Every structure is written in structure tokens, then in C-alpha cells.
């Protein structure tokens, strides 16, 4: 249950930060860091990938114990990864059609989740814990080397600004104009490599929790390793800045450490201490995470695409009309913007709660 609570909390955070009443008025922790550095919002995506890694261990270890051959599990991972990528592309196409964008964006959150899941699953199936640790180390060190030593035509080496870094160079070569921002994408192909390492750190945490021994000791050990990882990521960030947009290796290590600490806290509170009162909404969201993300994103796009007449007679989105009519009533407009996001989260808690009570779990 602790893992579902952690996953549900991550999805809740994702819905809140993605859906303010207006982007013009948002509390700073609910925005991504402008470039270097990190905020609460920058913890959400790596936490989810870390949870994906932990889940791989629990799901695949059980299936392997039941006698399912690794090849069958690998084919399952390929199918699931492809579905996640397809869902992400479908959301991008919906956005392209509704907003009339000039180019269809190719990368995205679900696309990265699909690729990271597939890569981490295959590494785990054939390398287990040692292979996962070796792969994560190679990915993090290799990415650091590329970003600091590989030359970028017209910019030189070691640049970590928006367009002069090596990951952005690869984005332009591979994706062309099909990026989130002109010239680069935060979910681009090269920066997906350290994101895979983040997922593999979750695999290592899952292997530790699945090992024999008292759970209390394993939770303490997980917290200890989490603290070491967070400190190591912070220290690495002094030389290789912590940056979510290009998913620097220091960022991956820092977030892996913080995710391990949060998971250890959830295990201690929910599973060991048995303090489960009030966790229901998080469990509901955590039991249908992809459905909650896809459906909430699709509805947001639809609400933004539907136009209605405002008080001045000019058209505005239905999304904006709801915000202004119900929530834009506070001296600090950031509060109304946040309450809109919380109310939107409440809608999806109700949806996922209904699915949970009916034992409906939408899997890919």
C-alpha cells in the first residue's frame, strides 16, 4: 500500500502543477525551476520514474517465480512501452489539432515513461541488481561526459544553456522542429538516458525491499541510501548543475535519493506503523495512475479548446471561464489559481475512487 500511496501522491502533484487556474498567477514552488536548480515541481516526474523502477521488480519477480520465462516478460515490456509511447503521441496529436500548432511535438512525458520502463525492464530481466547498478552508473557517467566534453557546432564544448548544450544539439538533429520549445525539448532523446538511470535507481530500491530480512531494517537501509544519494547528487551539482530540463546526472542522483527517502517514509508510516486513515484518495489515484494522467490531460486540452463568450463578448476558453467565474475572487490571485487546480484534482480523485470501488483498473 505504501507504494500506491507514494504513486498516488505523485500523480496528485502532477495534476495540481499541470492545471493552475492561470499560468500568470502560480506560487513559485508549483513552477519548474527556470533553468538550473529545482523546486517541488521538479521532483514529480523523477519520483514517478523511480516508482516505475520499484514496480518493475515487484511485478517481474512475482511473474518469474510463477515460471513465466524472461522472454515472455520482455515481450510484455515491449508491448507496454509501445502503448505508453502511443498514448503520449495521441495526446500530442490532440493538442496539435485543438490548438492548431505549427508542428506536432514528438517527445512527451508518456513517451519518456514508456522508453524508461522498457529499458529498465530489459536491463533488470537480464542483469538483475548488478546489471541495473552497472547500467545506471554507465548512463550517468556517460551523459556527464557527453554534456561536458562533446563539441556542439557553433557553440563549443561544455555549454549548459538552453540551445548550446549537447542534448539540445541532439534534439535538433533527431527531432528537427518537432520539439516543445524551438531548438530543444525537456523530454528529448539524449536526456532520456539519465532518466533511464533514475528508473534503474528505483529498480535497485525494489531489489533491496524484496530481499530477505525484517522490513524495518530494510526501510532504515533504504532511508540511509536515500540520504547518501541526495547528498551525492547535491555535491555533484556543484560541478554539473542540477537541471530538470536537461536531466543532468546530478539531478538524477539527487532525485533518486529524495525518492528513496520519501518511499522509506511511506513504508514506515503506512506499512510498518499501519497509519492508513486518510490514504484512500492517494491509493485510488495510485491504482490507476496512467488513466488519471491521460484522462486529466485530455480533458484539460478539451476545456482549453472549447470557446465561450466572456463578459466583454470576446471568446475565451471554457477552462478560463470556469476559473474566472468561480475561483478568481481573492486578493492574491495565486490562491484562486491554486484552488482551481485542487478542485480539478478533486474531480479526478472522485473518478479514480469510483473506478477503485468497482475494481476497475485501466492497465496498459
Tell the residue number behind the cell numbers 515472455, with chain if given.
72
Band the pLDDT of 244: cuts 50, 70, 90. Answer: very high
Is residue 35's pLDDT more than 90?
A: yes
Is residue 276's pLDDT more than 90?
A: no
Question: Quick one: the chain helix, strand, coil %, rounded to 5?
Answer: 70, 5, 25
> Crossing angle, helix 44-65 and helix 2-18, to 10 degrees?
150
Given a contact cutoff of 8 angstroms between Cβ atoms, the answer to whether 141 and 134 are in contact is no
pLDDT at 312: 78
CB atoms inside a 10 Å sphere around CB 256: 31
Q: Classify the phi-psi angles of 308: left when phi > 0, otherwise alpha if psi is within -120 to 50, otherwise beta.
A: beta
CA-CA-CA-CA torsion sign (214, 204, 2, 361) = negative
User: Distances from the Cα of 116 to the Cαs of 121, 139, 260, in angstroms?
Assistant: 8, 12, 18
What number of residues does the chain have? 364
**Domain locations along the chain:** 1-20+277-364, 32-274
Stretch 209-228: mean pLDDT, rounded? 94
Q: What's the CA gap between 303 and 59, in Å, rounded? A: 36
> Crossing angle, helix 192-210 and helix 109-149, to 10 degrees?
110
pLDDT at 212: 85
Q: 280-319, pLDDT tens digit by residue?
A: 999 999 999 999 999 999 999 999 999 998 787 789 999 9
Q: What's the CA gap between 28 and 21, in Å, rounded? A: 14
* pTM listed for this prediction: 0.96
pLDDT at 100: 87
Q: 130-147, pLDDT tens digit by residue?
A: 999 999 999 999 999 999
Q: What's the CA gap between 130 and 127, in Å, rounded? A: 6
Q: 166-192, pLDDT tens digit by residue?
A: 999 999 999 999 999 999 999 999 999
pLDDT at 101: 87
Is residue 275's pLDDT more than 90?
A: no
pLDDT at 12: 98
Given a contact cutoff of 8 angstroms between Cβ atoms, the answer to whether 327 and 339 are in contact is yes
Is residue 158's pLDDT more than 90?
A: yes
Is residue 153's pLDDT more than 90?
A: yes
Q: What's the CA gap between 257 and 35, in Å, rounded? A: 21
Q: What's the CA gap between 207 and 55, in Å, rounded? A: 10
Q: Express as a percent the part of the chain with pLDDT over 70.
A: 100
Amino acid at each position: 500500500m505504501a507504494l500506491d500511496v507514494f504513486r498516488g501522491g505523485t500523480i496528485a502533484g502532477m495534476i495540481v502543477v499541470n492545471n493552475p487556474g492561470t499560468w500568470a498567477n502560480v506560487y513559485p514552488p508549483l513552477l519548474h525551476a527556470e533553468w538550473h536548480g529545482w523546486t517541488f515541481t521538479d521532483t514529480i516526474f523523477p519520483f514517478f520514474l523511480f516508482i516505475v523502477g520499484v514496480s518493475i521488480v515487484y511485478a517481474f519477480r512475482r511473474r518469474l517465480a510463477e515460471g513465466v520465462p524472461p522472454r515472455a516478460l520482455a515481450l510484455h515490456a515491449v508491448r507496454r512501452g509501445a502503448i505508453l509511447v502511443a498514448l503520449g503521441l495521441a495526446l500530442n496529436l490532440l493538442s496539435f489539432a485543438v490548438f492548431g500548432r505549427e508542428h506536432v511535438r514528438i517527445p512527451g512525458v508518456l513517451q519518456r515513461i514508456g522508453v524508461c520502463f522498457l529499458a529498465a525492464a530489459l536491463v533488470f530481466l537480464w542483469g538483475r541488481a548488478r546489471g541495473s547498478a552497472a547500467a545506471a552508473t554507465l548512463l550517468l557517467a556517460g551523459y556527464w561526459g557527453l554534456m561536458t566534453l562533446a563539441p556542439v557546432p557553433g557553440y563549443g564544448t561544455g555549454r549548459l544553456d538552453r540551445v548550446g548544450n549537447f542534448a539540445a544539439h541532439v534534439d535538433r538533429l533527431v527531432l528537427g522542429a518537432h520539439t516543445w520549445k524551438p531548438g530543444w525539448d525537456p523530454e528529448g532523446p539524449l536526456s532520456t538516458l539519465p532518466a533511464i538511470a533514475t528508473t534503474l535507481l528505483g529498480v535497485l530500491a525494489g531489489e533491496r525491499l524484496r530481499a530477505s530480512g525484517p522490513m524495518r531494517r530494510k526501510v532504515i537501509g533504504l532511508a540511509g541510501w536515500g540520504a547518501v544519494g541526495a547528498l551525492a547528487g547535491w555535491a555533484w551539482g556543484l560541478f554539473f548543475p542540477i537541471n530538470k530540463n536537461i536531466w543532468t546526472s546530478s539531478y538524477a542522483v539527487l532525485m533518486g535519493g529524495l525518492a528513496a527517502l520519501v518511499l522509506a517514509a511511506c513504508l514506515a508510516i503506512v506499512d510498518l506503523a499501519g497509519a492508513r486513515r486518510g490514504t484512500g484518495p492517494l491509493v485510488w489515484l495510485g491504482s490507476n495512475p496512467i488513466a488519471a494522467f491521460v484522462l486529466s490531460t485530455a480533458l484539460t486540452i478539451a476545456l482549453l479548446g472549447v470557446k465561450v463568450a466572456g463578459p466583454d463578448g470576446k471568446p475565451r476558453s471554457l477552462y478560463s471561464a470556469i476559473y474566472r467565474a468561480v475561483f478568481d475572487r481573492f486578493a492574491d490571485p495565486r490562491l484562486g489559481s491554486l484552488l482551481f487546480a485542487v478542485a480539478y484534482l478533486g474531480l479526478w480523485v472522485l473518478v479514480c475512487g469510483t473506478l477503485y470501488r468497482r475494481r476497475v483498473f485501466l492497465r496498459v
